[in-house]
Structure formats: structure tokens, C-alpha cells
Amino acid sequence: MTKLFGIPLGDLLVVLAVALGLALGAVAVLALRNPVLLKLSVRNVRRRRGRSALIVLGLMLATAIMAAALTTGDTVSHSIRLTATNVLGETDVVVAARGAVAELEGVDAVPVFFDEAVADRVEGTLGGLADGVTPAIAQQVALQAPAKRSTEPSVTMFAADPGRMEGFATIRAVGGSEVTLAQLERNELYLTEEAAVELGVAKGDMVRVFVGARVVLDRVRDVVRFDGVGVDGPALLLPLAEAQRLLGRPGEVDQVLVSNSGGVDASAAVVERLEPALAPLGLEAKRAKEDALAGADEAGAAFMAMFSTFGSFSIAAGILLVFLIFVMLAAERRGELGIARAVGTRRGHLVQLYTFEGLVYDLGAAVVGALLGAAVAYGMVFVMARAFSGEELDIAFAITPRSLLIAVALGVLLTLGVVAVSAWRVSRMTISAAIRNLPEPPSPRRRRRWLVGTLGAGFGLLLAVSGFTGGQATPLLLGISVVLVSLVPLLRQAGVPDRVAFGVPGLVLLVFWLLPWGWYESIFGRQLAMDFSTWIASGLMLVTAVVWLFMFNADLLLGAVMGVLGRVRRLAPVLRIAMAYPLAGRFRTGTTLAMFTLVVFTLVTGVASSGSFIKAFDDLDAYGGGYQVKATTAPGAPIAHMRSLLDRAHDDLARDLPMVGSVSVLPVDARQLGTSRPAEAYPVRGLDAAFLTRTSFGLGSIARGYGSAREVWEAVRNEPGLAVVDSFAVPRRDQFGFAVGLADFKLTGFYYEEGAFDPIPVEVADPQTGKTTRLTVIGVLNDTAPPDLIGLATSQRTLALAFPGRVVPTTHYFGVAEGVDPAEAAARLESEFLANGMQAEALQESLDELTSASLTMNRLIQAFMGLGLIVGVAALGVISARAVVERRQHIGVLRAIGFRRRMVQAAFLLESSFVALTAI
């Protein structure tokens, strides 16, 4: 992983290191000037080891959350990098027909072959820039093991020149010995370990290879391990000449592989050198490994951003816990601090004393928290491995020292800042009241209240205006909230009772943030963009509002409780004591309540929102578009007329599969006309008339002039040149920043959320033939559409007229008859069309796998957010322990006037329960 929220990790580490160095340097200077204060701080840490351990536990949780997020990002990035390395081996650059190397996964166009002599030209052009250059073929075939009666419809046949494999990964038998393609004789092949396991065959067994209409029987010479076949899946290895014979392509290849002498970092220089030589031939060089590694880093950064965003409430709760810890420390030592002030210690000295003590706790907590976060991430790896078990991705735990250092630095700086603020607050005391352990006398602080309220209201107005002007929800709503919060000191200054001064703004905040989203846009007269910061702001404001309302009306609630339960004579004194202390310290009780409420808020909204998303996507009709089975054929063995073939040769299947819709795909260069954006690689899909007639795929946005999705699909079928585009190609007002691996092609001029737009002209060009055609986008697919429809979708007739001979259907959707099992029908399709390398699946099973993976990931996120629950529980433990120490004198008085031990325990238990149960 190389970036955090778009900031390069290297740069971030430097900035954090400088900031941490300055902070620690300032503390060190203060310590040298006041060594006595430093000794006192260290003594306080060592005096009560058990209590210090509790404090460290509370402080380390924020660091643990950040470390877990960073380490999770490292793991995802490392896993995808590992997969890319296994797929490509030592191959750094791939030379292929222009547009043949798909930008998006799942774009299987008909292959394009060219003269293998291009490899000599590439090698001569590169000279010393390449360690190895070999012509190669990588095509999908089907395998069958006659003895085991097992089949595998999708196997990559990788073939290369045996004499030019130097510089690429070696081929090793599972026994460990090195083997070569030159050792293979006629009708022999190597199987990769994964292919052998899928088929249940071993060395020496016979397998049938289906290459289109050709079927050959070969012997497995050995089961091997080889990095570099170009895909992550089962594969067979052959010499290049044998693959050319099977395909009927003598002297032709579909790619040339290059291993850079300078490694992946030299890919840019290699591509630049090759470009002039390849352009006249209609070929291009792709930085395959560099692009794959960049995608891995992007995915890692997205995962890290997701986990750290969801963990933000837990971090906020941790900050409140740190604040509470030091406020309670001050309350416990109030008399001691009062005496220190009486003998000449200044307020600044008290701030330094607590800052030193906090730093000692902080340094230990940050290191332990970083290690704990790594351990938490290690546990989450197993859950992630389960979530991706059906995908071509092996999750492997990874951790980098840089991520741990960033987590430690963030933890130390964050905690040190909170400690300094809380130390400054607790240093404000009246000496005589502190020595006698009496409450602080009220201080009007008139000027400060006016100043704080006025400045806050001004800042809120500026923030709101900025959000309104830019159509951004977070600054607009947050700015209005800041204005409401700033009214509190102004109302108190005007002499309004606290119940009203806090309660009225709190009630307005609560109602304001719970309004339906459409009301905001109606009130402000414009559409507003949201992102995850809106969710975070709403949570913090809602919790603030609820805590204000409750704390300044708690006496009414507790009075009602006392009126009901206080009639029990043995319970009355315990209840009075349990209620008196929280009401006496509203600030401390409110902060504790806010912290625990944040934790519960996070868990509840996490569960509810993830369940809502899964429910929204768990719809077969929306996901399958009215079909129940999807099948793909090998690009080299397509079926042009599936309906006719079924009707002629497969009576049972034709009866059981009454509906068939076919889809072709062609990688093109697409650009929106009337804009300055350059053309970008993107797929265009051809939907046949049967597909367009029966499909029920929904549309999220529809062009003006069309009233429904059905009208749009009929228009695409009947009028050449019309098209629909996937939702990822359309800009959105709401940005959540977690989508990765998407193409660069984008439309402009409207937003997805608007629902209606003017038809958009797009030009698409076939990079192979240079032919172009114009499409007009009149619809945008729903988010619930499957990834197989990413791209521009038009009619098959439109593509056939524009690019004759270039588009043949490779994907087919089937609707099953009543009473027919889709999974059984998919298995029969694979068996009937094994020679075409058909892979079929019941769409319900595919949707179930997708939903299961999403559910697993959502549970993982919930568990990550649940770290905040540890913060809350630790907070209650720390606060309860501190409360007992702080109130030892009160406890002694209670015992002296007749309270028994159990009564004191019950009072403390009720007090903690009041906070916990109220928050829940």
C-alpha cells in the first residue's frame, strides 16, 4: 500500500516524524527545565501499577484501530500483488494486438493473432533492455479426464517457444525438479497443479483437449508449478509449435512476452522504445505487471480507507476516554494539586506535570496499541480469506514497518494533543476549594462566552455558505449545526437556564439531523452531495444532541425513577446516592455517556446499513435481468446462433431453456463527443434482439424523451446507434471513494442521482481496424446490474454493421422453463458444449456467493467497528476504578453513618448501569 487518503505513505511518514519530533523535542526541553516535575510524573505512574495498566489499555485502543486499518490495507495490497506476481511471473510487458489486452476483467473478445516474427523485431528493438523475449499463445480450452469422467471447461492453454524461455520463470515439477517445454514429445503436455486437482489426474494419465471443433488425446507428462501463464487458474503448458497446430494457426501468436532486464521499474522505458516499431503493425505494448501492482496498491488503499472510516467513531470514543481519564486523575489528586499551587506552583507547571505523565502512558500505549492492531488485523485476515474463498485471490497476511510507525506516530500525536488539552482544563482551579476538596465556585466568564459564541456562529455561517455554494452536504449541515451549538454560550450569557440553553439547541439538532434526505434538498432548493463524512458528522451531532437533552433533563427522569422505586425503604438510600453523583458532575457524566453512546450508535447503524445494502442487492430479477442461467464460451470457440443450435440438435435443452439472449463484446476506444476528454479503452457489448426483448435489467437514469426502462430497451433494439452505459461510467454527487479497478472512461454533463439527462453522443473506435461509429447513450444501468454488463451496451445489429466480422456472441443468458432446476440446466449446458469451453452457472448461485461474500465483509467491518465496544467497556472499567479512588473519603463517611459494603457496591453498580443502559 502506497497511499493513505490519497497521501503517499512515505510523505505522510516524514510529516508525522517531523511533527512527532517537534512535539517530543518541546516536551524534552520542558523536562530539562523542570526535572522535578518529570520525576513527580514518573513517580505517579509507578505508584499505582494496576491503575496505570488500565490507563494504558484505554489509551492504546485508538492506536490499535489505526494500526489494524493500515495493516489490513497492507494485507489486501500484498495479496493482490502476490496474485499478480503468480499470474505474470517474470513477464513485465505484454505485446498484443491493439485493444486486445482488456482493461477490465471479464472482457473476453475474439482473439487476434499476428506473425510470430514480431518477437524477433521486439528483441532487436529492445537490445539490452530485455532479459527475455518470447512469442506465446494463451487461449482458453476445455479438458476432460476419460478415466475419472471429470471435465474442466475453462483451462488456459499456455504455449511459448521452448528455446526462448530464458529470463522467464522456470517450470518445476511438483516433485521439485526443473523441466522444460522442449522435453515434451508429440501428444504430451504439462498440467499445472491446480488443473490436476480440478480433474483428479496425475502424472501419466490421459486427458482430452477440446480446441474448438478439434479433440486430441494427450498424456500428462508431469504436474508442474509455473508462474507466468497470464491468468490465475488451471492451465496446461505446450510448446508453441504444438499449440499452433492445434489451433490451426501456423506461424501465428496472440502475444509476445517481455522480461525487463531492469525489472518492473523499467517498463515505461521498454514501452517507449517499442511504440514506434509496433504502431505500424497495429500492435501495442502494455505494462502488465506495473498496472497489476498499481491496482493492488489502489485496492489496499481503498480497504484501509474503508476500515479507518468505519473506525472513526471508535477513535472518537477513544479520544473521549483519554480526556476522561485525565479529568478523573485530576479529580483524584485535586487536594494534592491545590497544595502544590499554594506553595508557588503555577498553572503552567500543572499542565507540564500532566503532559509528562500522559506522555509516559502514551508512548507505551502507542507501541502496545500498534502491536495489538496488527494482531487484530491478523485475525481479520482469516475472515477476509473466507470472504474471497470463491475468488481468484489468495489472502496472505502482510505488515510493513512503515504502517506500524505511522500508526504509532498518529497515536502518540493524537493522544498527546488530547492530554495537553485536558491538562490545561484541569489546571484551572481555585486553590482554597481544591485543598478543602470543595466544588469549584461558579465563574461567569462573561467575555469568554460572548467571544466563543460569536466566533463559533460566524465560523458556522461561513461553513454553511461554503457548503451551499458548492452543493456539498457535509459543510452545509455541519455549519448549521455549529451555529446551533454556538447558541449555547450566548443563551447562558443572556441568563437563560441551562435546561433551556442546552435543551432547545439539542432538540433542534436532533430533529434537524433526522430529517429525510429529500427534505434538505427541498429546504435548500438544490441537490446536495454526500459522502462518508456526512455520516460521521451526523453521528457526532446526533450523539451531542441526545446527551444534552438527557443530561439537562436527567433530574426529571431520575426523579420519576425515585418516585417509583424510592418507596422501597432498603433501596431508597442506595438510589439517592447512585443518582446524586452523576447529577453533581454533569460534565463528566455527559462525556462518559457520549462516549458509550457513540459506541452503540456505531454498532447499530453498521448492522442496519449493511443489512439494507445486502437486501437491496439480493434480488435475482434485478441481478439476472429476467434470466436464470448465464454461460460463457471460450473466445476462440464462440457460438454465433445459440437458439438455432439448441433447436436443431438439443431437443431437451431447447424445451427446458425457452429463452436465450446472447451478448458479444469488443474492446474499443470510447470518448464523449463535445468534450475535451481523450478516448479511453472501454468495452462495447452487443445485445441481440432476443436479449433486448426479454431483459428486465433496471435503469438508474433515463434520457429525456423516454418514460421507462422498457421503452429504452425497445428503442435500443429497434433504432441502430442507441446505447445504455453502466453506472460506474457516470459521475455522482455522492462519493464514498471505495470503488477500485474501474476504467478511465467517464461521461460528463449530468449526475447519476438526477435521474434524467439529455441523450449523450459517444464515439467508439475499433483499435484493430480503425473503424468508428457513433452511439447515443439514452440510459444508465442500476447499481444492482452484474459486473458482466460493464461497458456500453448497444444492439448486436449496430455492432455488426459498424464492425463487420469483429463481434461474435461469447456470453449467453438463458431463461428456464417452469419446474427446471437452473443449476442442473447449467451443468447440462457445460456438458453439451464442452468443446466450446462453455462455463455455465445458475445466476441464483452466483448471487448467493456474491451476497455471502458481502455479508462476510460486512460482518468483518462490524467486528472492526466493534473495537469501539472494547473502548466503551474499558472506559467503564477505568471510570469505575477512578471513581472509587477519587471518592474514598465519601465512601468512608457512608460507611461511618451505617452504609454496608453491599450497599456501597450497589450504589456504584447502579451508577455505572445508569451510564451504560442509558447509552444503549
More confident call, 84 vs 594: 594
Is the pLDDT reported for residue 3 higher than 70? no
Residues 199-217, buried b or exposed e (16+ Cβ, 10 A)? bebebebebbbbbbeeeee
pLDDT of residue 685: 93
pLDDT of residue 693: 93
Cell match 470510447: residue?
670
Q: What is the crossing angle of helices 888-896 and 901-919, to 10°?
A: 130
Residue 830, C-alpha cell as written in the block: 457445460
pLDDT of residue 105: 47
Percent of the chain with pLDDT over 90: 27
Mean pLDDT of 336-342: 77
The candidate with the shortest Cα–Cα distance to 427, out of 527, 526, 350, 519, is: 350
3-state class (DSSP) for residue 810: coil
With left for phi above 0 and alpha for psi between -120 and 50, is residue 507 left, alpha or beta?
A: alpha
pLDDT of residue 531: 79
For residue 103, name the pLDDT band (cuts at 50, 70, 90): very low
The candidate with the shortest Cα–Cα distance to 582, out of 565, 561, 600, is: 561
Find all residues with CB under 8 Å of 736, minimum gap 6, and list them.
Answer: 531, 532
One-letter amino acid of 175: G
Cα end-to-end span (Å), the chain: 37
For residue 886, name the pLDDT band (cuts at 50, 70, 90): low
Rounded mean pLDDT of the chain? Answer: 83
Cell match 476432460: residue?
144
Find all residues with CB under 8 Å of 337, minimum gap 6, and list them.
Answer: 330, 350, 426, 427, 429, 434
pLDDT of residue 439: 66
DSSP percent split of the chain into helix, strand, coil, nearest 5: 60, 15, 25
pLDDT in tens, 715-735: 999 999 999 999 888 888 876
More confident call, 7 vs 388: 7
For residue 366, name the pLDDT band (cuts at 50, 70, 90): confident
3-state class (DSSP) for residue 777: strand
Angle at 15 (CA atoms; ends 13, 18), nearest 5 degrees: 105
Tell me 770's DSSP state.
-
Is the pLDDT reported for residue 158 higher than 90? yes
For residue 901, name the pLDDT band (cuts at 50, 70, 90): confident
Strands (E), 47-129: 93-97, 114-115
Burial of 341 (0-12, 13-18, 19+ CB in 10 A): buried
pLDDT in tens, 875-885: 677 667 766 76
CA distance 395 to 75: 7
Among 6-20, 45-59, 447-461, 501-515, the range with the most confident prediction by mean pLDDT is: 501-515
Mean pLDDT of 84-113: 73
3-state class (DSSP) for residue 675: coil
pLDDT of residue 591: 80
pLDDT of residue 331: 67
Is the pLDDT reported for residue 540 higher than 60? yes
Mean pLDDT of 147-173: 89
Please count the residues of the chain. 920
Residue 729 near residue 103 (C-beta atoms within 8 A): no
pLDDT of residue 765: 92
pLDDT of residue 240: 93
**CA–CA distance from 804 to each of 334, 670, 796, 801 (Å)?**
87, 18, 11, 6
pLDDT in tens, 478-525: 999 999 999 998 888 888 888 899 989 999 999 999 999 889 888 988
**CA–CA distance from 742 to each of 102, 103, 738, 746, 881 (Å)?**
12, 9, 11, 10, 52
pLDDT in tens, 246-290: 988 999 999 999 999 988 889 999 999 999 999 888 888 999 888
**Which helix or strand (DSSP H or E) is residue 136 part of?**
strand 130-145
Q: DSSP string covering 541-608, please?
A: HHHHHHHHHHHTSHHHHHHHHHHHHTTSTTTHHHHHHHHHHHHHTHHHHHHHHHHHHHHHHHHHHHHH
Among 1-5, 332-336, 536-540, 864-868, the range with the most confident prediction by mean pLDDT is: 536-540
The candidate with the shortest Cα–Cα distance to 629, out of 438, 457, 837, 844, is: 844
The candidate with the shortest Cα–Cα distance to 793, out of 659, 661, 627, 658, is: 661
Residue 169 near residue 192 (C-beta atoms within 8 A): no
pLDDT of residue 738: 58
Q: Report the predicted TM-score, pTM, of the whole model to 2 decimal places.
A: 0.76
Residue 670 near residue 679 (C-beta atoms within 8 A): yes
Mean pLDDT of 662-678: 91
User: Do the strands 150-160 and 178-179 form a parallel or antiparallel pair, or are they unpaired?
Assistant: unpaired
For residue 793, name the pLDDT band (cuts at 50, 70, 90): very high
pLDDT of residue 506: 92
Mean pLDDT of 452-467: 90
Helix residue spans in 34-155 (DSSP H): 35-47, 49-88, 118-126
Sign of the torsion formed by the C-alpha atoms of 161, 166, 167 and 173: positive
pLDDT in tens, 284-325: 899 988 888 887 777 777 777 777 677 777 777 777 777 777
Helix residue spans in 732-838 (DSSP H): 796-802, 822-832
Mean pLDDT of 426-453: 70
